[in-house]
Structure 1
Amino acid sequence: MIAKDLRSGVEQLGNLIAESSSIVPFTGAGISTECGIPDFRSPGGIWTKNRPIPFDEFVASQDARDEAWRRRFAMQPTFAAAKPGRGHRALAALYRAGKVPAIITQNIDNLHQASGFKADDVVELHGNTTYARCIGCGRAYELDWVKQRFETDGAAPDCIDCGDPIKTATVSFGQAMPEDEMRRATELAQHCDLFLAIGSSLVVWPAAGFPLMAKNCGAKLVIINRDPTEQDDVADLVLRFDIGETLGPFVGN
């Protein structure tokens, strides 16, 4: 069912939330755009301006690694200035109320943690851009350390332990999805009674399979997204309104 107007849609959403005991939110880039973080796929998004660098290219080419880090440091002021929006705060309120056991996200911006979710309860399918990891041994690095080495040497640094490349702790195209996070997301989708897909185009697989999985396991499915998705037809409720305005009434005090 597609909500005809914001007021009735919010009322229907509120009823579904009230009736549910285990709500699993699944968030995409759309929830963070009001926080100043541009999305990737929409017209004017990041990927329309810069071609994404696949993982195999990052591994094989120093030039690709240098370009990847140049782009990341160019975005640093944007990520550093971003604060949780109304959508993040509303989901955090449901989490504090015991309605949400954990959240699944495609986002890499750390805003769910900043809104009040415990880090262990944020299932990051695509990683986190606020720190870096060696792709070989997995050692974590602070971005400031990487930037200092990058500016000093004029090139993206390698791991001081094993010598393999260091990249942001995100999942690039062609890189394996994190097994533990995929397993936990599967468990959450299979055992909730309400699944909220928020701000995701639902075209990136396998992540896009979780709303359908939840629906097939008996959960009600709500999709909150500005644009239509391929899963609207199977959703119990579709709200094509601004995410902040839709979830704002649930922020609480």
Structure 2
Amino acid sequence: MAGSDTPPAQPPRRPLVAILTGAGISTDSGIPDYRGPNGLWRRDPEAEKLVTYDTYMADPEIRRRSWRMRQDSPAFRAEPNAAHEAVVRLERSGTPVRVITQNVDGLHQRAGLPERKVLELHGTVRAVTCTRCHARSSMREALDRVAAGEPDPPCLVCGGILKSATVMFGERLDPEVLATALGVAKAAEVFLAVGSTLQVQPAASLAGVAAEHGARLIIVNAEPTPYDALAAEVIREPIGSALPRLLAGLTEGG
């Protein structure tokens, strides 16, 4: 038979899946959350001062305590868990995926998700920045200096105060990162909020924005959130088992 005018079948278009992740996705990696029943802020309310910008800048003792806390942080020993790996599998299946994370641990990237597909709303604990000249360097280098006897290591470029490259209380989010996250939320056809209390703004509002723009909102969190009423589905099961199952279903659904 001569050539056909019928074009070859195109594979079905896969929906854009946006995943907002909070501290709850990393608890299985040994990193405690902040506001849960056993969260850091509930166990030690004073710890919040260590990550409050004005207090950190004004009080050398707070800075010294902060550096000691960083030395002992489980974030540097943590490995990605089953939930992080499930997100990578979804991305490698060909599904368009963007992760918007409130976490600073870098575990999504460690699991194999490309850097360009991860928006770190609250920065990263794996780098430090100077509060005066904004020079950036590795956290490991700064912690090595602390271990060598510098309890509050100054910037090696200008002598200014160093801080973790995270967004402290009292600091604003990077407007460019936030704007990109907002665009992702508006464009998403499926929006998952995973391990987040959805109480910290403006990150939490992304769930509402996604729902308002027609996304199917799915919330996976142990505790109720202010956005549960907008969700098509709310899952209270442990994230380490619930998320891999949920994302495998999205892959199969194509």
Shorter-normalised TM range: 0.7 to 0.9
Per-residue CA deviations over 1:208-241 (Å, capped at 9, x if unaligned) read 0000000111111000001111111111110111
1:101 is aligned to 97
In structure 1, the gaps of 5 or more residues are: 1-17
In structure 2, the gaps of 5 or more residues are: 1-11
Matches within 5 A, 1:217-236: 217-236=213-232
Per-residue CA deviations over 1:118-163 (Å, capped at 9, x if unaligned) read 1122100111112211123222222232123224444211212222
Q: In terms of Rg, which structure is larger? A: 2
2:15 to 17, 21, 30: 21
Q: Which amino acid aligns with 2:200?
A: V
CA contact (8 A) 1:79 1:109 kept: yes
Number of equivalent positions: 233
1:57 is aligned to 55
Structure 1 stretch 88-97 or stretch 129-138: which is displaced more? 129-138
Q: Distance in 2 between matches of 1:247 and 1:19?
A: 22
1:69 is aligned to 67
Per the TM alignment, residue 95 of structure 1 is displaced from its structure 2 partner at its CA by: 1.3
Q: Which amino acid aligns with 2:20?
A: F
Q: Which has the higher contact order (CA 8 A, sep 6+)?
A: 1
Q: Which amino acid aligns with 2:23?
A: A
Per-residue CA deviations over 1:68-107 (Å, capped at 9, x if unaligned) read 11111111xx223311111111111111223233210000
CA contact (8 A) 1:146 1:156 kept: no
Task: Please give the secondary structure, in 2, of the residue aligned with 1:102.
Answer: strand
Q: Distance in 1 between matches of 2:20 and 2:203?
A: 9
Q: Percent identity?
A: 35
CA gap 1:168/1:190 in 2 versus in 1, 3 angstroms: same
Per-residue CA deviations over 1:149-189 (Å, capped at 9, x if unaligned) read 22444421121222221111111100111111101101100
Q: Distance in 2 between matches of 1:124 and 1:27?
A: 10
Q: Which amino acid aligns with 2:145?
A: R
CA contact (8 A) 1:194 1:220 kept: yes
1:122 is aligned to 118
1:33 is aligned to 27
What TM-score do you get using the length of structure 1 for normalisation? 0.86
Q: Which amino acid aligns with 2:113?
A: F
Per the TM alignment, residue 63 of structure 1 is displaced from its structure 2 partner at its CA by: 1.4
Q: Distance in 2 between matches of 1:245 and 1:97?
A: 19
CA RMSD of aligned residues (A): 1.8
Tell me which stretches of 4 or more aligned residues in structure 1 moved more than 6 Å: none
2:40 is aligned to 46
Q: Which amino acid aligns with 2:167?
A: V
What TM-score do you get using the length of structure 2 for normalisation? 0.86
CA contact (8 A) 2:30 2:78 kept: yes
1:209 is aligned to 205
1:183 is aligned to 179
CA contact (8 A) 1:189 1:213 kept: yes
CA contact (8 A) 1:20 1:194 kept: no
